[in-house]
Structure 1
Amino acid sequence: MTASLSLNGAVLAVQRDGADIDPRLSPRPYLHPVRTRGGTEVTEHLPADHLHHLGVGVAVPDVSGVSFWGGRTFVRDRGSVMLDNHGRQEHLAWAVQKDAERVEELSWTGPDGAELLRELRSTRALDLDARTWVLDLRVELANTSGRDLSIGSPATNGRPGAGYGGLFWRAPLGARPPEVTGAGGLRGEEALHGSRAAWLALAGEDGSGAPWTLLFVQPGGHRDPWFLRASDYPGVGPALAWEERLPLPGGGRLERGLRVAVCDGRPADPAALAEAVGALD
């Protein structure tokens, strides 16, 4: 099943239910392709370097031992190993279906088919200017398992710097790695990876040399550390469990969001763009 997200009649993203994804990759809904207004693709899915990277979505490597990330799991004293621990996110129903907004209910189930989490996911396309639109993603997770859960990451399991998991954007590989900048004059992967910068931006090019920029902001008052990759592959996401496991008690809820300016070319003032993105309704 697919659905489109559009503004003024132009399709800017395709939403896929992920039902055809290999079970070892933790099947889940995702957006791909996402395009600039000029038609440049700024997402990747099933890349050879990480087959479990699926465009834009919600991917968590450890929910009380269940992987909703896909691929191998990092195990303390063993390293990355393939386990039979892959869950899946399944579409249940649409709460809202509009050209520029979709809200869906999802069920997160473990390998045994038992539900661990119920999710309400909002995906909106917001207008900004002639060469920029904004993708607004909101996630509300409810623990429906009947027991206490916790969210972890390879970092919490012993792999330093690998605190990934949550909303995640996989951008496409280009001829060279994208440039990375952030709030406060921060530049480069090393400076921004693990930071709580108010915003960060990737600036790359597609195969034909067309420039694109993705500027990421966390709305709603949360400021999770940024997981960032640029040199090996381009990927960005706020990290739910950067150094410590995140408890999610039985019946508890977790809310997070990510707002991304999708630009043709390079913004003249990234800080001003970040402020405009944050102010959108």
Structure 2
Amino acid sequence: MNTTAPGTTLVLRCAGRPVGRYLYRPELDTRLSPRPYLHPVTTLRGTPVTEELPEDHRHHLGVSVAVPDVAGRNFWGGRTYVREQGPTELDNHGEQRHAEWKLRDPDGFVEDLSWHADGTELLRERRTVAATGLTATAWALDFTFSLTNPGTKDLSIGSPATNGRPGAGYGGFFWRAPKEAAAPAVLSAASHPAGGPGVDGGGGASGEEAVHGRPADWLALVGEDWTLVFAGATDDTRKDPWFVRTGEYPGVGSSLAWDGRLAVPAGGTVVRRVVTVVADGRLDRAGAAALVRKALS
């Protein structure tokens, strides 16, 4: 059974209806890389579409920004992948700390956070989250994060893949969905990196193996009675490959460092924006494409 992490919370609403809870000061074990996160997130009918602290990966926390390697510190939680050694328990966990609200409304917020490890502030984050209604059965979660290096030295963001584990380029925006009796279906649209988002629904792929590790304008996870459609909403975000799991557990992330470390120079900023359609029912490719088009318009 999952145990909700206590802490200070904010309720996110869409058209007056609660659709998510944001824990911005959760009380978590250091080994989980404590960080603010959204859980539960629900459809408009109230179906939960996130999971926290699952037995298979206790460090998975609903919807969050989680990075396994920021200058060698773990902001993902759990073990750290060490080259030629594999997953290893290390005392290198960082923490994302809520600093202050810049805006706080029923349907969204703007928050400043500080990423700390070993008594040092490695990154400052500006996080913007908004809930927008789309139809009677769908809404969109608009999630933007900007990571700034406040120090005088350059740093970089990595992943297990950049540290020697092929195919494990996770780190960045990450959504842990709930486990059900059957694994969710997954499908994607074609990618059009040069011309902006292609949301016509054609030319896409289906299945974990076909979509994992590849950029796509949008990617849909289809559960028993719900659908999540993830779309990169900036040019840089659309270039990031998707990290996808359906068989082992259901989760989707947009990867910052898939096959090479991402440099964040002193004073530099990295910005990513993912818009997620949260829909009741099982959408096909055409239905997913139509809602993405509406969410990004």
TM-score range (shorter-chain normalised) is: over 0.9
Question: Partner of 1:276: helix, strand, or coil?
Answer: helix
Alignment of 1:30-179 (within 5 A): 30-110=37-117, 112-179=118-185
Question: Partner of 2:235: helix, strand, or coil?
Answer: coil
Q: CA RMSD in A?
A: 0.9
**Matched residue type, 1:64:** A
**1:218 is matched with which residue?**
232
Do structure 1's residue 278 and structure 2's residue 296 form an aligned pair? Answer: yes
Q: Partners of 1:145 and 1:70 in 2: how far apart?
A: 24
**Matched residue type, 1:87:** G
**1:187 is matched with which residue?**
206
Question: Partner of 1:247: helix, strand, or coil?
Answer: strand
Do structure 1's residue 244 and structure 2's residue 260 form an aligned pair? Answer: yes
**Matched residue type, 1:216:** F
**Matched residue type, 1:213:** T
Unpaired stretches in structure 1, ≥5 consecutive residues: 206-210
Runs ≥4 in structure 1, deviation > 6 angstroms?
none
**Alpha carbons 2:211, 2:244 under 8 Å: kept:** yes
Aligned residue pair count: 273
**2:275 is matched with which residue?**
259
**1:208 is matched with which residue?**
none
Report the Cα offset of residue 18 of structure 1: 4.3
Q: Partners of 2:52 and 2:159 in 1: how far apart?
A: 21
**Alpha carbons 2:184, 2:222 under 8 Å: kept:** yes
Question: Partner of 1:185: helix, strand, or coil?
Answer: coil
Q: Partners of 2:94 and 2:151 in 1: how far apart?
A: 14
Q: Partners of 2:91 and 2:277 in 1: how far apart?
A: 37
Q: Partners of 2:24 and 2:102 in 1: how far apart?
A: 15
Question: Partner of 1:155: helix, strand, or coil?
Answer: coil
Q: Partners of 1:45 and 1:272 in 2: how far apart?
A: 30
Q: Partners of 1:163 and 1:93 in 2: how far apart?
A: 31
**Matched residue type, 1:21:** L
TM-score, length basis structure 1:
0.95
Unpaired stretches in structure 2, ≥5 consecutive residues: 1-7, 190-202
**Alpha carbons 1:18, 1:30 under 8 Å: kept:** no
Q: Partners of 1:212 and 1:95 in 2: how far apart?
A: 32
**1:197 is matched with which residue?**
216
TM-score, length basis structure 2:
0.90
